[in-house]
Structure 1
Amino acid sequence: MTGDGHWDSAWSTALDAMELEADEVEQLLRHRDLLERLPADAATFTPPPDLGPLPLALEDRARRLMQRQLDLSRELSIAIAGNRQQARLVSRLHREVDQSIPVFLDNRT
């Protein structure tokens, strides 16, 4: 393999890994109501050392991936804000229940 071929291959492999991570984030967002906690083996992308500049042939792919990551980042921010709002509501409900007057229900008929 020539030097340029290795360079293209290294970048393709890096972009593949980034796309897999984006796939996992999309799955987590899609199924966030079903998950109680994150999977232990969640992928985290680490760029390879000495990758060098992006080959021009991969520029369109990299731009699409960057836009996808920006979109996912925005979705994650919205999801996090929603979770914080729900947590505040639950906390407030628990405080109100703890400070309320005891209520007894007679369910005998």
Structure 2
Amino acid sequence: MTAAPEQRPAASAARAGDTAWRRSWAAALDRVELDVDAAERLLGALHAGAAAAEAVVPPVWAPPALTGPVPDEHAERARLLLQRQLDVSEQLARALVHTRTQVAALRKLERAEPQPVFVDRAL
């Protein structure tokens, strides 16, 4: 049995909306993946000894305006990206703690009283 002609445009519009929704999620996941790639490259460059000024810092992230849950066909990719984001966040946190420890140690050295190199005394 086929739908009445007046119902076909509505069904077609629903499918088009569904397709656009799926494409929007795919595009959002693409952007997240590029951001995670950039963060991983930044960490790699910094660990390899690149100066912070030489490292390319990704732009500020803005969340996409998406409605509804992640489509089923993108769920596994979203889970993998989330895990990569969590891994990068953990690495960044460790790097921050390490940097703060180094800065604190350097500040202690800077405040240390200069030690005399020789003693000047009359004979």
TM-score, normalised via structure 2 length: 0.73
Give the partner amino acid of 2:78.
A
| Contact kept? 1:14, 1:48, Cα under 8 Å | yes
Say which one has the larger Rg: 2
- What residue number does 1:72 align with? 88
Give the 3 Å change call, closer, same or farther, for CA 38–3 of structure 1 in structure 2: farther
2:54 and 2:35 map into 1 onto residues whose CA distance is 14
2:67 matched to which residue of 1?
51
Q: Which residue of 2 aligns with 1:62?
A: 78
Report the number of matched residues: 102
Conserved 8 A contact 1:15-1:62: yes
Question: In the alignment, does 2:97 pair up with 1:81?
Answer: yes
Moved more, 14-23 or 50-59: 50-59
| Structure with the larger RCO, 1 or 2 (CA within 8 Å, 6+ apart) | 1
Contact 2:28/2:64 (<8 A) preserved: yes
For residue 41 of structure 1, report the CA deviation from its aligned partner.
Answer: 5.9
Alpha-carbon separation, structure 2, partners of 1:59 and 1:91: 48
Distance, in Å, in 2 between the alignment partners of 1:28 and 1:40 is: 7
* Structure 1 unmatched ranges of 5 or more: 105-109
More displaced stretch, 47-56 vs 31-40: 31-40
User: Is 2:13 the counterpart of 1:13?
Assistant: no
Match of residue 36, structure 2, among 11, 19, 22: 22
Q: Which runs of 5+ in 2 are unaligned?
A: 1-14, 119-123
1:35 lines up with 2:51 in the alignment = yes
> Is the partner of 1:87 in helix, strand or coil?
helix
In the TM superposition, what whole-angstrom CA distance separates every residue of 1:2-46 from its partner, at most 9, and x where no partner exists? 111111110011011111111111111111131233767623332
Alignment RMSD, CA only?
A: 2.1
- Percent identity, please: 36
* Inter-partner Cα distance in structure 1 for 2:32 and 2:20: 18
